[in-house]
Amino acid sequence: MACLVLAILGIVLWQTTKQPSIALYASIVADFTGMVPAMIKTYKFPKTEIWSFFFLDTVAAIFILMAIKNWRIEEFSFPLYLMLINFAMVLLIVSPRKRGALVG
């Protein structure tokens, strides 16, 4: 629900202020809000996720960053965020620390 509220708030602010960057940053915050529970679960139970999925997203974001011609924050903020959040997930999945076991 928090992600949906943030996304709607971003659209409303974008339309009332005519500043598309507000919607961009609201979408980043909304996505991060949705990723926090996934990151907590992955930290506790890393074997429930597939690292290669997040690694491919990281690589895709790197390619997007390499294709940018105008290095303004509005151009690179979302792909940079995607690269960082997906790489963080990869690290959570493949890190060798001992964590809780999934009981099933």
Q: Residue 100 falls within a domain, yes or no?
A: no
Give the total number of structural domains in the chain: 1
Q: Residue 103 falls within a domain, yes or no?
A: no
pLDDT reported for residue 104: 44
DSSP code at position 70? S
Residue 21 structural domain: 2-94
Per-residue pLDDT reduced to its tens digit, 53-99? 999 999 999 999 999 998 999 899 999 999 999 999 999 999 876 55
Q: Residue 82 falls within a domain, yes or no?
A: yes
Q: Residue 39 falls within a domain, yes or no?
A: yes
Q: Residue 104 falls within a domain, yes or no?
A: no
Amino acid at 25: Y
Q: Residue 99 falls within a domain, yes or no?
A: no
Q: Residue 101 falls within a domain, yes or no?
A: no
CA atoms within 13 A on the CB side of 93: 16
Per-residue pLDDT reduced to its tens digit, 21-54? 887 887 788 888 888 889 999 999 999 999 999 9
Q: Residue 20 falls within a domain, yes or no?
A: yes
* Cβ proximity of 92 and 44 under 8 Å: no
- Give the position of tokens 């339309």: 15
